[in-house]
Amino acid sequence: MIHFAAYASVPESVGDPPKYYHNNIIKGIRFIDAVRDAGIKSFIFSSSAATFGEPQYSPIDEKHPQHPTNPYGQTKLDFEHILHWYDVAYGIKSISLRYFCAAGADPEGELGEDHTPETHMIPLALFAALGRRPDIKMFGTDYPTEDGTGVRDYIHVTDLASAHVLALDALKNGAQTTAYNLGNGKGYSVKEVIETARQVTNKSIIATSAPRRPGDPAKLVASPDKIMSELGWQPQFGDLPTIIKTAYDWFVAHPDGYGDKD
């Protein structure tokens, strides 16, 4: 069983914590209870780098202390703990995959990113390039990073998918409950993402400064060494231009996303 569902906006979680606890924890427990009642013993959980909070060192490995700075990250960490105890009590083995920044689109052009509302950095930058919005906001330009903007580790969705397959195979072959960090081990700042998007699209992108968003750490970069060594995972779409190019191609081909969701 693979559990992808969750509310996942950091600033929204800070402003409305009960929404995140009701959905990500209470409904998550109902789900894992249904899994238990069905006799399923293998469980993959989409967790998050937000469980770590402000990094004490970088890149972040699985031994890094977990002190979330927002309710979203806290709910992900709490559910990881719940899975541990469901293993102890019921023998449900689980692997938590801590995503850093999932991005990009299916290289074959069939699947892409379509959120309402859209809050992710790369789609918003590309929407500015495509004229779907007037600019891209840089939330915080005074972070203790090289250029003052937040730094994130972007991982292509296809590489994420391959990690899930490897994790499920590992559980089928007797793996124990554990967690893995999923990223490329390289961080890019907001300004670097915007400049790369300009180069990939060959279009102008207006970037404007805005106040920091509550709950956002300054820098989150993964160490993927554990999943590489234990499961043999190797990202195939790790460079930022490729990630942005696949996303851009999908947005150009699908100007209305998946259409009317209603």
**Under 8 Å between Cβ of 188 and 152:** yes
Of 227, 141, 149, nearest to 188 by C-alpha is: 149
> What is the residue type of 105?
A
DSSP 205: -
* Radius of gyration for the chain, computed over Cα atoms and rounded to the nearest angstrom: 18
**Does 68 score more than 50 pLDDT?**
yes
CA distance 210 to 223: 30
User: According to the model, what pLDDT value does residue 260 have?
Assistant: 52
Domains of the chain: 2-253 (3.40.50.720)
- Ordered alpha helix ranges (H), 108-213: 121-129, 157-172, 190-201
**Under 8 Å between Cβ of 162 and 237:** no
First vs last C-alpha separation in the chain: 28
| φ and ψ at residue 81, rounded to 5 degrees | -65, -40
**Under 8 Å between Cβ of 118 and 124:** yes
Taking only the tens place, the pLDDT of each residue in 75-85 is 999 999 999 99
Q: Which two tokens stand for residue 12?
A: 């929204």
Element containing residue 137 per DSSP (H, E) = strand 136-139
**Under 8 Å between Cβ of 105 and 249:** yes
CA distance 202 to 225: 35
What is the mean predicted confidence (pLDDT) over 125-129? 97
What is the mean predicted confidence (pLDDT) over 54-77? 96
Catalytic: 20?
A: no
CA distance 168 to 41: 11
What is the mean predicted confidence (pLDDT) over 147-170? 97
The chain-wide mean pLDDT, for the chain, equals 95
Taking only the tens place, the pLDDT of each residue in 176-217 is 999 999 999 999 999 999 999 999 999 999 999 999 988 888
**Does 262 score more than 50 pLDDT?**
no
Give the model's confidence band at 116: pLDDT under 50 very low, under 70 low, under 90 confident, else very high. Answer: confident
* Exposure class string for 230-253: b at 16+ Cβ within 10 A, else e: ebebebebbebeebbbbbbbbbee
Helix (H, G, I), strand (E, B) or coil at 104: coil
**Does 106 score more than 80 pLDDT?**
yes
User: According to the model, what pLDDT value does residue 141 have?
Assistant: 97
Q: Which two tokens stand for residue 259?
A: 């259409």
User: According to the model, what pLDDT value does residue 238 have?
Assistant: 81
User: According to the model, what pLDDT value does residue 214 have?
Assistant: 87
| Choice among 20, 72, 86, 180 that is catalytic | 72
